[in-house]
Amino acid sequence: MEGTHVADIPLAPVDAGGASGSSTNGTVQLLRDEIRYFDGVIRSTLARKSLLEARLRSLSGEDDTKDEPAIGDSGAMAPHT
């Protein structure tokens, strides 16, 4: 399916009862594949952006993450045993 994108696919008509037409299942699968593809692109782009921003802060001396709790760290102290 590489090279085929949603914009290239004629969509089946939709009525109040749902989608109709024999190509509906194929269209639905292509839409799901396209969403999955772009979800991966978005996630990797955001991860790359975060890395670049961290590198920029590090190089420019603007590392302001020292005061922020780590992900998953509520800042609460562990109970004493």
Summarised one tens digit per residue, pLDDT across range 6-57 is: 666 665 555 545 555 557 888 899 999 999 999 999 999 999 999 999 999 9
Q: How far apart are CA 47 and CA 29, in angstroms?
A: 27
**pLDDT over 60 (residue 1):** no
- Considering its fold, how many domains does the chain have in total? 1
Structural domain containing residue 36: 21-60
Flag whether 76 is in a domain.
no
Give domain status of residue 35, yes or no: yes
- Residues 56 and 60: their CA atoms lie apart, in Å, by 6
* pLDDT for the residue 25: 84
Alpha helix stretches (DSSP H) within 4-80: 24-60
What predicted TM-score, i.e. pTM, was given to this entire model? 0.47
Look at residue 46 and tell me if it is in a domain: yes
Q: Binning pLDDT at 50, 70 and 90, where does residue 62 land?
A: confident
In a domain, 79, yes or no: no
